[in-house]
Amino acid sequence: MGTLTVNQNKLQKRLRRLAGEAVADFNMIEDGDKVMVCLSGGKDSYTMLDVLMHLQKVAPIRFDIVAVNMDQKQPGFPEHVLPAYLKELGIEYHIVEKDTYSVVKELVPEGKTTCSLCSRLRRGTLYTFADEIGATKMALGHHRDDIVETFFLNMFFNGTLKAMPPKLRADDGRNVVIRPLAYCNEKDIQAYSDLKQFPIIPCNLCGSQENLQRQVVKEMLQDWDRKTPGRTESIFRSLQNVVPSQLADRNLFDFTSLKIDETAASRFVNVVNL
């Protein structure tokens, strides 16, 4: 890639700045960390690796990066693409081979969405591998739009106010997951991927799956942003400004013992008749 234009340079700086802010705000990476960067071959994970490699050069701390891709044995998967790209970058990498494709195809009826099961199987395998290589952090390429979409999916279909946290400890305590692109929007990531001409590997396991609820929510948010620019950003900010007393979760706020404060000053004032 040659010299960047002014707008391209701004795009690169914006992604690097936002990722750096997210890493700092949530203390995602600490001195001496070994960060396992999970690569799917999509635009998000390529951008995350690119940004983290830059941060590794400029950060005031030292940390290692190891790239990991999981070969799920999908028919026609171009096995040569990622190894060739990662060798060119000159970083440590591993290809984890696990035939989850056959498992998903066997268990999920034809025509049903496969993403949920596929994701669980992939995540479990990567968690185990991170433990095996001594990775202290596991970086995933989810961005701001993914987080907001997940928030609405959980609210609409699971009845929970829950999204994807920028930093998460696994239930067994053995892994810490980080999402360095948590502050970055998908539009910028797509533009950067096009600019860098990353060797994108499409997911052929599920095809387009046009009826996925995530796609429905994505289109809803995109429509909102067209009509009211900045709405997705505002929704994301709301996830950082939670007020438990204004919701209805009795586990987060003690509504039961809420009573008037007998010591509070009276609102009444003396009224002078004119």
206 is in an annotated binding site: yes
Contact 167, 26 (CB under 8 A): yes
DSSP states along 26-91: TT---TT-EEEEEE-SSHHHHHHHHHHHHHHHHSSS--EEEEEEEE---TT--TTHHHHHHHHHT-
Contact 245, 252 (CB under 8 A): no
Residue 260's CB: how many other CB atoms inside 10 A? 6
CA atoms of 195 and 46, how far apart (whole Å): 12
Where does the chain have alpha helices with state H?
6-25, 43-58, 81-89, 100-107, 115-133, 144-153, 186-196, 213-227, 231-238
Beta strand pairing status for 176-178 and 167-169?
antiparallel
Angle between helices 186-196 and 6-25 (to 10 degrees): 130
CA atoms of 14 and 18, how far apart (whole Å): 6
CA atoms of 106 and 126, how far apart (whole Å): 21
CA atoms of 253 and 246, how far apart (whole Å): 9
Q: Per the structure block, which two tokens stand in for 41?
A: 């071959």
184 is in an annotated binding site: no
Q: Which residues are annotated as a binding site for [4Fe-4S] cluster?
A: 115, 118, 206
Q: Which residues are annotated as a binding site?
A: 115, 118, 206
